[in-house]
Amino acid sequence: MAPQIRRLQVAVSGLGRMGARHANHFLHRTPRAELVAAFTPDPKELAWAQANLEPWGVKIYSDYDEMLNHKGLEAVCVATATTVHAEQTIKAIEAGKHVLCEKPLSTELSISEKVLQVAKAHPQQKVMCGFSRRFDSSYLAAYQTALSGSIGRPTILRSQTCDKYDPSGFFVAYAEFSGGIFVDCNIHDIDLALWFFSSTEKELPKVKSVMAVGVTALEPDLAKHGDVDNGVGVVEFHSGQIAYFYSSRMNAPGQHDMTEIIGTSGKLTVNANPTNGLTESHLPSGIHREIPQNYYERFENAFVEEARQFTDAVLDNKAVPIDIESSVEAVRIGVALQESLRNGRKIFFDKQGNKVEDGSRAKL
């Protein structure tokens, strides 16, 4: 018998590392979605698609605009390079599609704001930036606990994104377009701060100051892109909340992303004690465990859950779990941290999000 289930008709744009995973998630792990099309201009990605997607009935396009015209297409998952996230998202919205866009919306604030503007002009369509951690079961459990009030008012948030060291030089080349470590890595941590700090307030906290420093401990060539391999940033909000971040490209055992949400009457930790499962080895050299080797090993299930929740939001016409305003705010903060890293200065903002020169106006 043929299925009689209404399934969301989805296309994935970009079939690189993450795009291929998104395609698989919509194809095999999102029951209410049907992957009908995919776009890639890249020959290697195309070959992968012919072997792995076409046999399942997915139509492959080498032209993004043609793909948007795929008959019956309802939603697009944008998973190309960051530099074209915004452009493709806008095009898809304007073509009447719902959009799930990989983070960040852009490495530039003004472009992110443009996406927001277009999204607002199409209120019937769902537009969401994919901050995967919000769909991770451990972060979700922490959020529910925060919402319950057990830790009081979330006041301080510490969060880090630490990648395993990749000696191939990949990170140096990547830094040219990534927007820098605060925009590429800590953007997740910034998003978490916005999420948790608004959990009890019911409005987005407004940035008051940012300050960042960093070093190039293993990859001095990052300096030519104004980037570092270890960064520390601190963000004050006008609401009397503080978030501080660390990012690194040189974590030895693997991926270690962790977060503490510190409230007035308790604290939540996510991944303070990292592990890759429930196995430990007791050997003459001591007790050993392993941790995930990359963010996908850590967050695979979160990405699947992201695809499912986005699909549900569209099919059931519910609000998407991550507000696009919040994702623009994350870019504002990430970009400002990167600027502070580069010019060595603390940067101040008024409550409208405008930079102000005189720090004393914003002092304690």
**Looking only at residues 300 through 339 of this chain, which bind its own copies when binding is defined by CB under 8 A?**
none
Q: For its own copies, what does the binding mask look like between residues 178 and 207, x meaning CB under 8 A?
A: ------------------------------
Q: Is position 249 an interface residue for its own copies (rule: CB under 8 A)?
A: no
Q: Is position 218 an interface residue for its own copies (rule: CB under 8 A)?
A: yes
Pairwise CA distance, residues 47 & 295, whole Å: 25
C-alpha distances out from residue 109 to 244, 264, 329, 346, Å: 21, 33, 9, 18
Taking the CB of residue 165, how many other CB atoms lie within 10 A of it? 18
Q: Is position 278 an interface residue for its own copies (rule: CB under 8 A)?
A: yes
**DSSP code at position 350:** -
Residue 95 or 217 with smaller CB distance to its own copies: 217
Q: Residue 157 CB, nearest distance to its own copies (Å)? A: 10
Pairwise CA distance, residues 76 & 74, whole Å: 7
Q: For its own copies, what does the binding mask look like between residues 51 and 80, x meaning CB under 8 A?
A: ---xxxxxx---------------------
Residue 267 or 332 with smaller CB distance to its own copies: 267
Strand 8-13 and strand 75-78: the pairing is: parallel
Taking the CB of residue 246, how many other CB atoms lie within 10 A of it? 18
Q: For its own copies, what does the binding mask look like between residues 85 and 114, x meaning CB under 8 A?
A: ------------------------------
Query: For its own copies, how many residues bind (rule: CB under 8 A)?
Result: 92
Token couple for 158: 């510490």
**Using CB under 8 A, which of 122, 267, 350, 353 touches its own copies?**
267
Q: Is position 1 an interface residue for its own copies (rule: CB under 8 A)?
A: yes
Pairwise CA distance, residues 202 & 118, whole Å: 24
| Region near its own copies per CB under 8 A, out of 66-74, 102-110, 184-192, 261-269 | 261-269
Q: Is position 209 an interface residue for its own copies (rule: CB under 8 A)?
A: yes
| CA neighbours closer than 13 Å in the CB half-sphere of residue 199 | 28
Classified as helix, coil or strand, 271 is: coil
Residue 202 or 363 with smaller CB distance to its own copies: 363
Q: Residue 252 CB, nearest distance to its own copies (Å)? A: 4
Q: Residue 362 CB, nearest distance to its own copies (Å)? A: 6
Residue 83 or 276 with smaller CB distance to its own copies: 276
Picking from 47, 12, 15, the residue whose alpha carbon sits closest to that of residue 30 is: 12
Token couple for 189: 């941590």
DSSP string, 225-241: GT--SEEEEEEEETTS-
Q: Is position 244 an interface residue for its own copies (rule: CB under 8 A)?
A: yes
| Region near its own copies per CB under 8 A, out of 111-119, 126-134, 147-155, 330-338 | 147-155
Q: Is position 43 an interface residue for its own copies (rule: CB under 8 A)?
A: no
CB contact at 8 A, 291 and 255? yes
| Region near its own copies per CB under 8 A, out of 85-93, 95-103, 115-123, 245-253 | 245-253
CB contact at 8 A, 18 and 79? yes
Residue 111 or 156 with smaller CB distance to its own copies: 156
Place of tokens 């080895």: 281
